[in-house]
Amino acid sequence: MLMAYIQSAMRHATYEILDDQTFYGEIVGFQGVYANADTLEQCREELQSALEGWIRLGLRMAHPLSELDGLRLDRVPESV
């Protein structure tokens, strides 16, 4: 379930090229989850890593996570 939630969130990611020609990515609705890197692929990888950490911390702290594309995480998965 965790991987499906992450994949779903990543489908909502937006990216842009900044003035310094680096890539910036964020996921709307996931406050503080963003990345900046030299290439789009590096940005995507860093964004996913930031998202995974954000989700794990939120679950450990018992923060409610929004339902996303019909998926809901409401407890810490055993692999976390």
Q: Over its length of 80 residues, how does the chain's per-residue pLDDT go in tens digits?
A: 889 999 999 999 999 999 999 999 999 989 999 999 999 999 999 999 999 999 999 989 988 888 889 898 875 545 55
User: So what's the pLDDT on residue 63?
Assistant: 87
Position 54 scores a pLDDT of 94
* 55 CB-side CA count, 13 A: 28
Domain 2-60 top-level CATH class:
alpha beta
Beta strands 13-17 and 34-37 are unpaired
DSSP string, 29-55: TSTT-EEEESSHHHHHHHHHHHHHHHH
